[in-house]
Amino acid sequence: DLEQVTKRLREALGPEYEVHTWRAIQPFYSDVIAIQRFLIGLISFVLYAIVLTGIANTMLMSVYERVREIGTLLAVGLRRRQILALFLLEAAVLGVLGAAMGAAVGRGIVALLAWKGIPLRVGGGAIDTILRPQVEPAYLAAVAMLAVAGAVISAAYPAHKASQMNPVDALRAT
């Protein structure tokens, strides 16, 4: 609410006082923040790709370890789309549990940092600043939904592979 606060301060103090924002005084910091956001976004994307690859690998190994089970389910009449749905549901449940645990741990770390504070010393500044980070619930919910969607999408290929098995061949597998 920087602009709104600045406007209200200017109105309250009148023309005999000057009110400037940090963006007007130090535009360099806006550039630093933009670069940090870009780098954090890039690192997040790379980590997200690594996690999705790990989920796909885990689900694929799960399919290969349960070949006989899948063959039995197909032999007793389960349809291929039900096998597909079973593996996608498994991935969704794992995604929800992982997202919930990750959100709880992440929120706890941010709460600890907010309680303790992060000292910020600006070169040449007379006053040290204490940062108190916070996480918006909407952001947390969006990231959790992204994690669940990623888990389901990365499990799509292994689930498809499981649903396309031949029941006779699957039952013969050792």
Mean pLDDT of 140-163: 92
Is the model's pLDDT at 139 over the cut of 80? yes
Neighbours of 3 (CB within 10 A): 9
Coil, helix or strand for 131?
A: strand
For 117, left (φ over 0), alpha (ψ -120 to 50), or beta?
Answer: left
Asked if residue 122 has pLDDT above 80, the reply is no
Q: Is 130 in a helix, a strand, or coil?
A: strand
pLDDT band, residue 174 (cuts 50/70/90):
low
